[in-house]
């Protein structure tokens, strides 16, 4: 009888270090017929980001890309058809490069990164491209979706859980200390910080110009975000209506709008990145996703962060920079209050956030990571940074990164 074959692989593998090389994004536009991307396809937006990454990194042979993961919340039309694969083909990557689509609503790009990063850590990939796209002007959230009636009839969730603005109003109910005055002040501050970052040249280098077309104006070139309203004051925000509830607290001034845009990033095993001569912008420490009651989805970042801190052995005081997605100001303030962080803390969204620049759902996670990576380069005294975001249908996601430029806090 023949001896059993020798196993081809060990039963346990060493986990490899995952590097965030660089992220880019299109300018973010306003959704709708008047938005800058009204005449631009969703897949063309993300194709532009992939091509830009390859242009910026000629040291990366295209055939070395092992996977392309692109997220979209509404996977239909020009952001359907397994968009990770179609975008890879249209961006000019070799036909040997596979791709897939992914959906975790607002955390789509975040999940594209964490899923492929796990593959890098395990050894299945050396280099990947991960990102997200959302063209809410072409495909409003939930377009073509038929929620199972039992979700409501069986009282699995409150009916408000299916409307994100109503979940934010619910969060105000749960945390009465978070007043509209506080959220309006936060919204104005996001606009101010974003405007200051643009003037200082901190926001702009990561943007990919995109050709646009308008029936009225003809061809153009989008080079900057469309949603920001510099000079916004708290007094102006106080006059805005509350569309989700009479005499409510959620307005267009203390929440992100409906937006179009795309993001993409290169991730790699750190040894591979160094071998190819690619920069290392961040190192992955860990990530976590948690579910919460869908009707208060904005609270999701809190348990996701608590879980990740426990797993990594870190404390909230170890985090020197935070990039928190500003879907709604109330959700950010709930997170800060829970962890005892002052809402004026300069470590939190120092260049503003989604209330100013926009939140094209599945694309936003990589925007947060890209800004954190660029902030790391300016802050060698900071070792750890965090991205966190709330997610529709009651979830939260958090990722912790290490700064490769950390100088020991000198």
- Residues carrying an active site annotation: 106, 359, 390
Residue 222 DSSP SS3: strand
Using CB atoms within 10 A of its CB, is residue 164 exposed (0-12), middle (13-18) or buried (19+)? buried
C-alpha span between 351 and 192 (Å, rounded): 9
Q: Which of 143, 149, 49 is nearest to 366 (CA)?
A: 49
C-alpha span between 309 and 312 (Å, rounded): 5
For residues 326 and 353, is the Cβ–Cβ distance under 8 A? yes
Q: Which of 81, 110, 85, 35 is nearest to 267 (CA)?
A: 110
Q: Which of 166, 134, 205, 141 is nearest to 371 (CA)?
A: 205
Q: How many helices (H) and strands (E) does the chain have?
A: 12, 12
Q: Phi then psi for 168, rounded to 5 degrees?
A: -70, -40
Q: What angle do CA 377, 382, 388 make, to 5 degrees?
A: 90
C-alpha span between 187 and 190 (Å, rounded): 5
């Amino acid at each position: 009888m023949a001896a059993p074959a020798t196993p081809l692989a060990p039963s346990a593998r060493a986990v490899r270090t995952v590097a965030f090389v660089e992220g880019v994004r299109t300018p973010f536009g306003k959704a709708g017929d008047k938005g800058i991307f009204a005449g631009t396809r969703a897949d063309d937006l993300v194709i532009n980001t992939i091509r830009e990454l390859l242009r910026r990194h000629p040291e990366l042979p295209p055939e070395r890309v092992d996977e392309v993961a692109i997220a979209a919340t509404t996977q239909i039309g020009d952001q359907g058809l397994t968009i990770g694969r179609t975008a890879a083909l249209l961006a000019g990557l070799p036909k040997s490069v596979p791709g897939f689509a992914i959906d975790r609503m607002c955390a789509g790009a975040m999940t594209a990164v964490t899923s492929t990063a796990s593959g890098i850590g395990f050894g299945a990939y050396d280099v990947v491209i991960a990102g997200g796209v959302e063209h809410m002007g072409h495909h409003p959230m939930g377009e073509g979706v038929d929620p199972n009636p039992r979700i409501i009839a069986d009282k699995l969730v409150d009916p408000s859980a299916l409307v994100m603005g109503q979940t934010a109003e619910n969060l105000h109910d749960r945390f009465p200390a978070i007043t509209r005055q506080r959220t309006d002040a936060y919204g104005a501050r996001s606009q101010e910080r974003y405007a200051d970052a643009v003037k200082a040249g901190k926001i702009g280098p990561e943007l990919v110009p995109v050709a646009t077309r308008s029936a009225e104006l003809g061809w153009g070139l989008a080079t900057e975000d469309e949603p920001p309203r510099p000079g916004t004051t708290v007094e102006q925000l106080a006059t805005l209506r509350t569309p989700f509830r009479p005499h409510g607290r959620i307005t267009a001034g203390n929440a992100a709008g409906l937006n179009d845009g795309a993001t993409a990033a290169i991730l790699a095993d750190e040894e591979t990145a160094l071998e190819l001569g690619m920069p290392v912008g961040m190192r992955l420490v860990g990530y976590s996703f948690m579910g919460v009651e869908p009707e208060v989805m904005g609270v999701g970042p809190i348990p996701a962060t608590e879980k990740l801190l426990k797993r990594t052995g870190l404390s909230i005081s170890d985090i020197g920079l935070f990039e928190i997605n500003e879907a709604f100001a109330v959700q950010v303030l709930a997170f800060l209050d829970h962890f005892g962080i002052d809402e004026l803390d300069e470590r939190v969204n120092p260049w503003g956030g989604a209330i100013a620049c926009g939140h094209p759902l599945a694309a936003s996670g990589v925007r947060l990571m890209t800004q954190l990576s660029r902030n790391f380069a300016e802050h060698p005294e900071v070792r750890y940074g965090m991205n966190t975001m709330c997610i529709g249908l009651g979830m939260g996601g958090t990722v912790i990164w290490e700064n490769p430029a950390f100088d020991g806090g000198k």
